[in-house]
Amino acid sequence: MFIGDNAEVARVMGINVEATRIKLFTVMGVIAAFAGLLLTLEINVFYPTQGGGFLLPAMASVFVGGTSIAGGLGSIVGTFSAPTSSARWKPGSSRPLSAVIGFK
């Protein structure tokens, strides 16, 4: 379901690039909506700016995990291990994944 770095090569290999991009953006939108629903259920009220504090830690976790800002290779293991490690370092976190998941 992934296209890779070169859409032209994917097209030559027989992958419908436009349909695949639409599917991927749709799946990511559904996942983001589900995450917003979980966040709203946790605090029992909705604020339009309630997710603003999550952008910097999320981007920092991706970069600490080894993904380059200029393109190139990254790994799922590195991107997952960076927020897991930072959650363990967070003061007051009794469970290692509590800060990553967002539940207390």
Amino acid identity, residue 16?
Answer: N
**In a shared domain, residues 18 and 57:** no
Domain co-membership, 74 together with 98: yes
What mean pLDDT, rounded, does the chain reach?
A: 77
Counted domains in the chain:
2
Categorize the per-residue pLDDT at 46 as very low, low, confident or very high, splitting at 50, 70 and 90.
confident
Q: Which domain holds residue 15?
A: 1-45
Q: Are residues 97 and 58 in the same domain?
A: yes
Band (47; pLDDT cuts 50, 70, 90): confident
Question: Do residue 56 and residue 94 come from a single domain?
Answer: yes
